[in-house]
């Protein structure tokens, strides 16, 4: 199964595409869609939508995964994040890609084994799980890959469970 993971941000939206059988994962692509803070939010959301549509068109994911909204100290930041999540969900829905949503704690628990892991720990585990020669330098892209791995692992487990019943 090919999974597109998205780590939403109004300045930097990370994405990661993996191929997975639910147990073994391999990297297809990972990068960041960067927007200018000098532009209005509407223009930034458009750029993110266009970037995600291009990724979906190029890599043809069968499943999508997006990190859920978490409690943020800054309300404006949380609202901007919610807008970006809406754009990501829309882009996936437009392409008829089923979507899973996971809290940051679920992603970290799935990838690292500890829900309060630091970003550096996530980067190291993503490197290990994808058998990469080095860590993905962008924390946004690495986090997106972690979201994809979380989804692939859960989908694989669910499929094995259904088969056993």
Per-residue pLDDT at 157: 62
Residue 85 clears pLDDT 60, i.e. is over it: yes
Per-residue pLDDT at 160: 60
Domain membership of residue 156 as a residue range: 2-164
Q: Distance between CA 164 and CA 108 in Å, rounded?
A: 27
Question: The domain spanning residue 15 has which CATH number?
Answer: 3.30.420.10
Higher pLDDT, 160 or 141: 141
Per-residue pLDDT at 49: 98
What are 86-138's pLDDT values in tens digits?
A: 999 999 999 999 999 999 999 999 999 998 899 899 999 999 999 999 999 99
Q: Distance between CA 5 and CA 61 in Å, rounded?
A: 10
Per-residue pLDDT at 71: 60
pTM over 0.85: yes
| Domains held by the chain: number | 1
Residue bearing tokens 């990838």: 111
Query: Residues with catalytic annotation?
Result: 7, 67, 140
């Amino acid at each position: 199964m090919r999974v597109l993971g998205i780590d939403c941000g109004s300045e930097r939206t990370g994405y990661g595409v993996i191929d997975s059988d639910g147990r073994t994962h391999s990297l297809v692509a990972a990068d960041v869609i960067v927007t200018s803070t000098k532009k209005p939010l509407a223009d930034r959301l458009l750029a993110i939508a266009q970037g995600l549509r291009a990724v979906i068109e190029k890599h043809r994911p069968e499943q999508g995964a997006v990190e859920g909204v978490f409690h943020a100290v800054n309300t404006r930041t949380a609202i901007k994040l919610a807008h970006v999540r809406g754009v990501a969900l829309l882009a996936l829905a437009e392409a008829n890609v089923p979507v899973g949503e996971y809290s940051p704690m679920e992603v970290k628990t799935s990838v690292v084994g500890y829900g309060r892991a630091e970003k550096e720990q996530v980067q190291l585990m993503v490197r290990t799980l994808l058998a990469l020669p080095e860590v993905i330098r962008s924390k946004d892209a690495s986090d997106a890959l972690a979201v994809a791995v979380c989804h692939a692992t859960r989908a694989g487990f669910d499929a094995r469970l259904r088969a056993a019943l």
